[in-house]
Chain A
Amino acid sequence: MFTMGIDIGSSSSKVVILEDGVNIIAGEVIQIGTGSTGPKRVLDEALSKAGLTLQDMAKIIATGYGRSSVEEAHKQISEISCQAKGVFFLVPSAKIIIDIGGQDVKAIRLDSKGGVKQFFMNDKCAAGTGRFLDVMSRVLEVNLDEMAEYDSRATEPATVSSTCTVFAESEVISQLSNGVAKENIIAGVHQSVASKACGLAYRCGVEEDIVMCGGVAKDLGVVRAISKELKKPVIVAPNPQITAALGAAIFAFEEVIGANK
């Protein structure tokens, strides 16, 4: 039996096709999100990779910011529950999830069964999100996938505000014009993101294992900064951008099984 999870975020679209609730047949990501061609393209890509059609799916569940606009879905579940489900499947020892996506930062505390015990999210502010890193990457003229490498060469991380993306951007511009090395600025940017995420994680109560997911988890500079701040190791979920879509696909599987009992 095949089930599908579709996670339409603010800046990327993800689809997971799951066989019998355990085998990931496809896990595709397109780096544009809701309101774009991303959702359709990622759906087509995943189906084509799996060699399946929508009719083969026993159930489809959508999650993420754009979950309500996915016509193919039979149901919507919040990305909080889906992240918990997906991460717990991949890392059963997970207690705390730190999920940083395009416009949201979340810390989720799991119960012993992988359910959501508590969660905290950023307020109406882009500081500390993937969008924040996007802005900084543009100003610094360093690609997102190169930022971790720059960070690893930093000698003295600069101070970058964690309260506002716009203010942080002007801080970064003034540091650039003062000749501060990009490596140090990027390490400061990563610390700024980490301080925002860790603030939420502390409210959940920090307990190992701590697992990071979401697109920003691919930036190891952020992962290192979070680990340093929490003084604990941080596990990056395998393929961290698809964990919510995976969770949605697992929910879909469980619901089909539950309905057939």
Chain B
Amino acid sequence: MTDTTNMMAKELLGFYQEELYEEARRAKKEGKLVCWSASVAPSELCVTMDIAMIYPETHAAGIGARKGALDMLEVADEKGYNLDTCSYARVNLGYMELLKEEALTGKTPEKLEKTPAARIPLPDLLITCNNICNTLLKWYENLAVELNIPLIIIDVPFNHTMPIPQYAKDYIAEQFKDAITQLEEICGKKFDYDKFLKVQEQTQRSVAQWNRVASLSSHKPSPLNCFDLFNYMALIVCARSKDYAEITFKKFADELEENLKNGIYAFKGSEQKRVTWEGIAVWPHLGHTFKGLKNLGNIMTGSAYPGLWNLSYTPGDMSSMAEAYTRIYINTCLDNKVKVLSDIISGGKCDGVVYHQNRSCKLMSFLNVETADMLQKENGLPYVSFDGDQTDPRNFAPAQFDTRVQALDEMMKQKEGVSNE
């Protein structure tokens, strides 16, 4: 067993990500169940049942970040998936097609052979929620039909008003119970509620450390660039119900706090302006977007997206857990979305906002125009939006991004009467 005690947070992140994929591959080899899960579906249920987990959204992001998305997108395209469909879905459906072809023919397709991301096994079951989008429903239904495997759907209705009514929490809690019944049937064993409580407690410890990391961007200057949250997010998605996430985030928060004490900040040199980034990262162009802001002296100290996994609840209380999984800001009305973003912007002491008009994520992007308008009326901060995509590299133009963020930088400096120098 590898000794992790002396690893830095960054090493832990890499180590545990690989460990999770290895666990899934091992489980498959040993004939145990592997589940593919939506990123904000309750991981607690499958982890309690000792099912190995794979998160296609994170896997697709990894393929995108390693410049391997186009191959998978082409496979999906050939299968008839429309270009307007979410690119996480298309990358994953393309990947699934290749895995299926390999399983049926015994021959590894070339595109699968050379894909830069970790190899993942085919699933034996699927679990999804509709709390982050409704594309997931059709995406997972397609996976289930193509692979002829069971699909557990947990319905988490959109919150058109806030606060969340009790009946909504009761309904979702019932959905959890129904999912547990389905898992018992699939696994052929009873659900262990004592273990479930322990898994819930572990999840809360992971979430607490995640929130501890995220809160550090409120310092000015900041020890944390929120681009790092995009990277570390892999573990809050894939391992929040295990101690991997807690260990890594605790280490990261400790390192950042130590840096803060020693006057070591995320921005080498002097951070000039602080921005909030609204939306998912542009994974295939992560470096370009990071450097584009950095070269202007700007740091990202606000991002609502990682906050989707601020899944705080009371262990043992199904209603409280239901609330955590439904209150995430993209599952709530525009007013609440604005309020969440407003808190992110003020918490990060931001001077401006960058909105990612993400071709893949209609739910997040279509509301941006109104969100930006409402927020500007409230806080008067300049903002820009740019066209992009979370994993389809073709939907992003670097020069367009550069012009917009440079203009934002100039507006932020102009606002304070600072020259453009």
Contact = CB atoms under 8 A, between A and B. Distances in A.
Highest count of chain B CB atoms <10 Å: which of A65, A80, A251, A254: A80
Interface string B397-421: 1011011101100110010000111
Contacts of B407: 78, 80-81, 116, 119
B87 to A, nearest CB: 14
Given A77-B420, A79-B403, A124 B387 contact: yes
Size bin of chain A's contact surface: 20 to 34
Interface string A63-89: 001001000000111111100000000
B403 A124 contact: no
Chain A, interface SS category: mixed
A116 B410 CA distance: 9
A124 B419 contact: no
Contact of A78 (B369, B387, B410): B410
Nearest to A124: B387
Contacts of A76: 406
B359 to A, nearest CB: 9
Interface in B362-421: 369, 376, 382, 384, 387, 395-397, 399-400, 402-404, 406-407, 410-411, 414, 419-421
B357 interface: yes
Given A123-B357, A255-B421, A258-B419, A80 B399 contact: no
Nearest to B383: A118
Contacts of B420: 77, 81, 251, 255
A124 B410 contact: no
A254 B419 CA distance: 9
A64 to B, nearest CB: 9
A77 B395 contact: no
B352 to A, nearest CB: 12
A76 B29 CA distance: 57
A254 B414 CA distance: 14
A81 B410 contact: yes
Contacts of B382: 118
Contacts of B411: 81, 115-116
A121 interface: yes
A124 B404 contact: no
A2 B376 CA distance: 39
Contacts of B357: 123
Given A118-B382, A258-B419, A78 B403 contact: yes
A116 B414 contact: yes
A86 B137 CA distance: 52
A121 B404 contact: yes
Contacts of B414: 81, 115-116
Contacts of A124: 387, 395-397, 400
Contacts of B387: 123-124
Contact of A65 (B384, B396, B403, B421): B403
A80 B410 contact: yes
A250 to B, nearest CB: 12
Interface in A69-127: 75-81, 104, 115-116, 118-119, 121, 123-124
Nearest to B404: A121
Nearest to A34: B399
A80 B421 contact: no
Interface in A150-194: none
Interface centre among B396, B404, B410, B419 (most CB of A within 10 A): B410
A56 B419 CA distance: 24
A75 B421 CA distance: 9
Contacts of B376: 118
Contacts of A78: 403, 406-407, 410
A140 to B, nearest CB: 28
Nearest to A116: B411
A124 B387 CA distance: 6
Nearest to B388: A124
Given A124-B395, A124-B397, A251-B420, A77 B403 contact: no
Contacts of A116: 407, 410-411, 414
Contact of B399 (A65, A115, A254, A255): A65
Interface in A211-261: 251, 254-255, 258
B82 to A, nearest CB: 16
- 5 cross-chain pairs, A with B, having the tightest CB-CB distances, nearest first: A80-B407, A78-B406, A78-B407, A124-B387, A123-B387
Interface of B: 357, 369, 376, 382, 384, 387, 395-397, 399-400, 402-404, 406-407, 410-411, 414, 419-421
27 contacts: A65-B403, A68-B402, A76-B406, A77-B406, A77-B410, A78-B403, A78-B407, A80-B403, A80-B407, A80-B410, A81-B414, A115-B411, A115-B414, A116-B407, A116-B411, A121-B403, A123-B357, A123-B387, A124-B387, A124-B396, A124-B397, A203-B369, A251-B420, A254-B419, A255-B421, A258-B419, A258-B421
Given A121-B400, A255-B420, 11 more contacts: A65-B403, A75-B421, A77-B420, A78-B407, A79-B403, A115-B411, A119-B407, A121-B404, A123-B357, A124-B396, A124-B397
Interface of A: 65, 68, 75-81, 104, 115-116, 118-119, 121, 123-124, 203, 251, 254-255, 258
